[in-house]
Structure formats: structure tokens, C-alpha cells
Amino acid sequence: MDALVKELNQHNYNYYVLAQPTISDFEFDKKLEELMELEKAYPAYQNPDSPTQKVGGEITKEFKTVKHRWPMLSLGNTYSEQDLRDFDERIKKAIGSHFEYVCELKYDGLSMSLTYQDGKLIRAVTRGDGTQGDEVTANIKTIRSIPHRLSGSDYPDNFEIRGEVFMHKQAFERLNKERMENDEVPYANPRNFAAGTVKLQDSSEVAKRPLDCFIYFLYTEQRLFRSHWESLQAIKNWGFNTCEHQKLCSNIDEVLNFIHYWDEKRHQLSYDIDGIVLKVNSYAQQEELGFTAKSPRWAIAYKYKAQEVETILEQVTYQVGRTGAVTPVANLQPVLLAGTTVKRATLHNANEINRLDLYKGDTVLVEKGGEIIPKIIGVNTLKRPENAVKISYPNTCPECGTTLIREEGEVAYYCPNDEGCPPQIVGRIQHFISRKAMNIDGIGAETIEAFYRQGFVKQISDLYTLHEKRTELMRLERFGEKSINNMLAGIEKSKEMPFEKVLFGLGIRFVGETVAKKLASHFHSIEPLMSATLEELTAVDEIGGRIAESLIAYFEEAAHVEQIQLLKSFGLQFESIQKEIILSGNQLEGLNFIISGVFERYSRDELKDLIESYGGKILSSISSKLNYLVAGENMGPSKLEKAQKLNIPIISDEELLKMIGL
């Protein structure tokens, strides 16, 4: 186990820090799987430095505020090259002409302070107000490029190191697409997504979102190096991930050349940058230059202007998603922006169209700064054509003509005709076959569109009758016997997928992957879920009123119930396989419990397993049958109120352990 830990940590270092992997992802995953199996079999020998510890699992009820040992000051910044030359002149007046600059990319992410003691990561704190920030250690430990334990032996016993946590653009696009598919509000840019992720309370959820981190500054009690450049070379050998695009410059002209180079090339990077940071290299000279109240006098940031361009708004079209949300899209005269040809831009919703006061043929200003998807930020009304027609959001669905609705408190309009609106039907079936849902091999999104047009599939259950249409399928272009056999085998195999995957695959509004798991784990089968009341649904961990109302509305539709019955008849799994409970004792026999809130020592699932292993039963809602409510922090007020009305004893996790005798 120790050998595997050492080997896998080295591979992580090779991959994330050196960018020189020596084994394939498949080989790495197999070795990691082997280590996980060994740790499960021999938990007493689990190494705290194991790479398996990067999967998270710790729940943080609230983030502790920690004062920074060295304040996290902001940098002065400018958009002007003349300001940089003026900055250079001030440096020369203060310390003379013999100095160097280190130029670094200015990453668009979240500043983080990491504290190491005896080579181990002991604390991670956000910038906060610069004087103090939130401790987010459990979440930061899930980032693969941040070492839990350092390499080598020449690092100091105690030090602090600063870096930028960020998300790569490709990961942002993938995760944002998933959020939109699950009817969740997408993040505007990778920085916001990274910042939101770092503040999640469940570190296992953080681990699912691929964050990265570049380290850029070292703080120690005693000076180890003479210059910033020297320290950057050293910390890489300790196992830290530093950006390869750094340059040591001997004068301001070299700095400006570096700035111009990355202004052109920045869009080729896998992550966002919004400028260049220059720092005086010598630590002694930094000390001599000192600080203002807000920022160091020895560093400055040059910020690139957001990419903007004018083009013509040709028309606005409307896309209907699988959940019925109608999204306006601006179709533009093609224009080059930030290295790519832009033909479309997001308009978000009806409110945005009204705010911009758009007319067909308008000359619009399009921006692609921190945004991945271009957006319209303004209109040049002086160039508006005569007799231009104002853009107005439609009242009816552009696909099926049904009157659109907008729920109270929401900005999006929806088409309620989910059983008759073509893009909703196609989108729902495409979602069902997707990798995170039923993962059906041999069939893709385009195939579903083709099958719908041909009349082979009109609803999800039709997938399971395709074997009866083999002859007709053979007549379709690009469909040979082998591809049909592969597709039908994939459809048949999908019948083995667990209940949580089927539930997610149904595409119920607001029921994402995590929510589907929670519901499947709580209700165990479809019948009690279908008949659950609002009260019973909101009693489930992390299920709020909006999700509960969506579930009730879904199961009230006869067509949805009919689909579920058909899928059941085809052999799909609508029941969870119950894990066998091994009793450790009978101290809680005959007692019913509900667990609510957040606990320091245990997750709710761990407490649930503990109760069941000592003979207790977990109920789905508060009623007179309940014997105890195990309450943690941030418990819902409605549950507390109902428990008090029914005089149900409210106990802590410590009191529960005493009842068991632990």
C-alpha cells in the first residue's frame, strides 16, 4: 500500500506539475482502484498521504475565519502602457537602474493561501478581505495539483505559499452544460464557477469539479532565497504546480514585449487570464520599496481590455430545451472576436432583450472577456436602420405553438407541452441515453433525432421496442447490421442500470444526478416516491420545496406514470438493491429516527448506517411514529417546529452515541 501511494503520488506530480505523464490514464486508474480496494480491506494501514484522500467527503457546516499571518494585499493595476513606464521610472528613482522584473500571467481565479508544517498541508484560507479569510482546507485538499505532502527535504519547517485556484475552460463548458441540462442556473465564467465550488459545504462535491491551482509566491519567517525567481524554481522541486509561462526580464521593454505576446496568444491557453503581473525580482529590493496601505510598491498588474467588437444583429431565434425552457439566441453577422469567428451570442432571457432594447438590424457591441459564450453588452443606436422592427419575446412556443408560462420568481419562460413539443421529446430521449444517465452504447444524439423524424421513437419507452423494427432500421442510411446489433445490445444492457440512474434519466425538472441518488437512497423504489407528499419529500436530505413541487407535478401527469409502467414492464430497475445491514447490537431496536442538519464528526449517511446497525429505523417524515429527531447545525425550521409540536425528543449525535453505548 505504501509503495502504491508513493508511486501514484509521483505520477500525480509528473502529470499535474511537470506535465510529463509516464503512464496512461487507464493504467493510473487501475493502480488507484487497486489501492482503494486494499484500503477498504485494511483500513488500519491507510496512509494519510494517499491519493484516494483527494475524493473529499468532509462536510463543513460553516467556514472558520482565519487571520492571515502575512496580509493578502491587492495589486495596483493599469490598462495603460504609459502607466507601466511611469511605474518603472518610480522604481529606478527609488533603487537605481540595476534590477529585474519577473513577469507572470494574471490568472482569472481565486486567491488562496496554503500553510505547510513539516512538509504537510495543514490549512488553506481564502483571500477574504485581505486581513482574514475563510478556512477551506477540506475542499482544497481535493485539488490534484496541490500536494498534501511535499517532495524533497530542503523546504522550511513552516511556511505559507500563495496561489490561484481556477478552472480550465473545457471543464467549465462541460460542467455548465450539465447545469443547464439539469435546469440549474449556469455560471457566467470559470472564475465564478471556481469560487462557488471552493465554498461548497461538501468536499466530495468539490472533488467532482476539476479545479487546478498555480502557485506564485512564498512567505517564510527567515529568507531562504535572494529572489522571487529563485524561489519559483525551488518550490517546483518541492512538488508545487507553477505556471510554465513566466519570464525574467531585465528592462521595461522586455516586459512590454511579453505583454504584447500574451495579448495575442492568451486565447490559446486552456484557462483564462486577464493580464500580466510584474514584480521586482530581488527580495532585498522589494523590502526597500515597501508597501502602501493597500498594495506592494514593487509589483503592478497590467490588465488586458475585454475583447469587444461591433457587428450586425441579423435576427433572434429561440431554442427550446428538454425541460421546456425557451432561450433567446442572437444570430449575428459573422465577426472575428478573441481568436474565433462569432456568429451567435447569448441573450439569456426576456428581461435581457428588454434591457438592451434590441431592434432587428441593430449594430451591437459583442464582448468575450471572462465569458466563454459571447454576449451582447450594448447597442449603437446611432446606426439603427430606419423602420427597424423591435425584437419582442414570443408568447407562444416557437416549436409547437403552445402558450408559454413563467413561474413566479423565475426569469425563464417555459413551454408546458412536454409530451407534444418535438425538441423537448428529442432532448428528453437524448438525456435518457446519455453517459451520466443510462449510458447506452451504440446510439447517439444524432441517431435519436433521426429516429424521431422517422417515427421510430416518440417517447423513451420506444427505445425498448426498436428490436421489433430491425428490418426498417436496416433501410436507413449508415445503419448496417453490426451497428444495429451494437445499439440493440446497448439498449438491452441498460436494463441493468440502477434505480438512481433510471430516475435521473427520466429528466424530471430540477432532479439532477445528486438529487436522484438522494431520492433513490431514501425511498428505495419508485412507488413510495410517486406517492410521497410535499412534507415527505422535503424531509429528504437536500430536497427543497422547488424540487419537491416539481416531483409532485411530474407524477401527477398520467402520461409520465404510463411511461414508468411501460419501462418497468420492459425490465428497467425501479427499485434499489438494499444493502444487507449487519447488526452490531440491538440497543435501538423498535425506535424510529430522523436525522436533520449538519454534524461535525459524522455525515448523515454515517449516522443513518449507525442507527440501522443497532436495530433502529430511519423514517422519511416527522409524524407521531417518530421516537427521536437527531439534530445538527442548520436544521430546517419547519422540521424543528413540527417535532416540538408533537413533543418528539430532539437529541444530538453525542446523545445518540450514548444511547448506543459508544
Whole-angstrom Cα distance, residue 283 to residue 523? Answer: 62
Three cell numbers written together for 596: 436533520
pLDDT of residue 372: 59
Known catalytic residue: 383?
A: no
Cβ burial 7-30 (10 Å sphere, 16+ → b, else e): ebbebbbebbbeeeeeeeeeebee
**pLDDT tier at 315, thresholds 50, 70, 90:** very high
| 385: pLDDT strictly greater than 70 | yes
| 182: pLDDT strictly greater than 60 | yes
Residue 404 domain-assigned?
Answer: yes
Report the CATH number at residue 104: 3.30.470.30
Whole-angstrom Cα distance, residue 550 to residue 465? Answer: 29
**What own/partner pairs with CB < 8 Å and gap ≥ 24 does 235-238 have?**
235/161, 236/17, 237/151, 237/152, 237/154, 238/147, 238/150, 238/151, 238/152, 238/154, 238/155
Structural domain of 437: 422-496
Q: Which of 62-66, 92-96, 290-294 has the lowest mean pLDDT?
A: 290-294
Three-state DSSP state, 13: helix
Each residue of 85-114: pLDDT tens digit?
A: 999 999 999 999 999 999 999 998 899 999
Residues 430 and 540 in one domain: no
**pLDDT tier at 636, thresholds 50, 70, 90:** low
Report the CATH number at residue 368: 2.40.50.140
| 54: pLDDT strictly greater than 70 | no
Each residue of 9-28: pLDDT tens digit?
A: 888 777 655 556 788 767 77
Residues 477 and 537 in one domain: no
Residue 580 domain-assigned?
Answer: no
| 252: pLDDT strictly greater than 90 | yes
**pLDDT tier at 215, thresholds 50, 70, 90:** very high
Residues 281 and 139 in one domain: yes
Q: Which residue has the higher pLDDT, 12 or 657?
A: 657
Whole-angstrom Cα distance, residue 558 to residue 79? Answer: 60
Residue 587 domain-assigned?
Answer: no
Report the CATH number at residue 20: 1.10.287.610
Q: Which residue has the higher pLDDT, 398 or 633?
A: 398
Residues 508 and 487 in one domain: no
Residue 29 domain-assigned?
Answer: yes
| 397: pLDDT strictly greater than 80 | yes
Residue 585 domain-assigned?
Answer: no
Q: Report the domain count for the chain.
A: 6
Residues 331 and 363 in one domain: yes
pLDDT of residue 33: 81
Q: Cα 149 from chain centroid?
A: 26
Residues 141 and 12 in one domain: no
Domain boundary among 303, 330, 357: 303
| 127: pLDDT strictly greater than 60 | yes
Number of residues assigned to the chain = 662
Report the CATH number at residue 485: 1.10.150.20
Domain boundary among 416, 441, 463: 416
Residue 55 domain-assigned?
Answer: no
Checking DSSP bridges between strand 650-651 and strand 628-631, what pairing results, if any? parallel
Enter the pTM of the model: 0.55
**pLDDT tier at 248, thresholds 50, 70, 90:** very high
pLDDT of residue 19: 54
Whole-angstrom Cα distance, residue 599 to residue 607? Answer: 9
Choose, from 6, 54, 61, 106, the residue flagged as catalytic: 106
Residues 538 and 628 in one domain: no
Each residue of 217-247: pLDDT tens digit?
A: 999 988 899 999 999 999 999 999 999 999 9
Residues 381 and 435 in one domain: no
Residues 406 and 468 in one domain: no
Which amino acid would we find at residue 263? D
Residue 53 domain-assigned?
Answer: no
pLDDT of residue 338: 67
Across the range 161-188, mean pLDDT stands at: 85
Alpha helices, DSSP H, located in 208-294: 228-237, 252-265, 283-289
Residue 582 domain-assigned?
Answer: no
Residues 504 and 621 in one domain: no
Each residue of 523-564: pLDDT tens digit?
A: 999 999 999 999 999 888 678 888 999 999 999 999 999 999
Report the CATH number at residue 650: 3.40.50.10190
| 641: pLDDT strictly greater than 90 | no
Whole-angstrom Cα distance, residue 341 to residue 309? Answer: 11
Residue position matching grid coordinates 433501410: 475
Domain boundary among 276, 303, 330: 303
Residues 370 and 426 in one domain: no
Per the CB < 8 A criterion, the answer to whether 296 and 277 are in contact is no
Residues 507 and 524 in one domain: yes
DSSP 347: -
Alpha helices, DSSP H, located in 239-334: 252-265, 283-289
Q: In what order do the strands lie in the sheet with 211-219?
A: 120-126, 110-117, 158-167, 211-219
Mean pLDDT of the chain: 89
| 475: pLDDT strictly greater than 60 | yes
Q: Which residue has the higher pLDDT, 259 or 538?
A: 259
Each residue of 482-516: pLDDT tens digit?
A: 899 999 999 999 999 999 999 999 999 889 887 89
Q: Which residue has the higher pLDDT, 542 or 154?
A: 154
pLDDT of residue 161: 97
